[in-house]
Amino acid sequence: MAEDAKVPKHVGIIMDGNRRWAKANGMQSIQGHAKGVEVLRTITEHAAKSGVEFLSVYAFSTENWRRTEEEVGFLMGLFVKSLAKYLEELHQQNVRLMMLGSRDGLSDNLLEAWEKAAEKTKNNTGITLATCWNYGGQQEIIDGVKDLVGQGLDVSKLTPETFESFLYGGSAVPPVDYVIRTSGEQRSSGFMLWRAAYAEFYAVDKLWPEFSEADFDIALAEYATRGRRFGS
């Protein structure tokens, strides 16, 4: 991050409020999720123009499997359809796509769609959009420990820098500088527990489908006023 510009390199967004927005507008929950995808597309483009290099978004948590079978099925299908709809456009805009999360329980067609998107955009040099899908911060750490032990590494010599390479996405994912959460809630919900250790947090009352480019600008302006000390 350029210190003079005060623009966070990595912004994480907890996209909360799709279902509440739908209910408030007399719609089904699935319509709120569909609207949320449209907003994400807009915010991704705007974040890139604002100088953000890495945008990670909390899309589907490991706890979201507890929702109804109908809603989970819709979300899985929406993810695949959204990739197909926006992939070429995002590629043309030089966006690199990543998925962070556990692959356990995900359908073959979803994984194939994501692998296609990641492969197509892997050499793009613009903003990286990392979708946290089937993601849990505690599960990420557990999976990292399993991988580390499985490779027979000497844990007595383990450092934070070494362990970070075993998190989802490895060294390709930088530490989170700024976490934005919509809907007025003020909790992390397990989002980026390791990488957001020194992140600044910002909560906005608007539900995710209402979140606009202007709201993102306000959030960035607030970040510019923060004095980050990293424990010092």
Catalytic residue among 4, 16, 104, 154: 16
Which is catalytic among the residues 4, 25, 64, 205? 64
Instruction: Give catalytic status of residue 64 as yes or no.
Output: yes
Pairing of strands 178-181, 10-14: parallel
16 is catalytic: yes
What tokens does 17 get? 């409020």
Active site residues: 16, 64
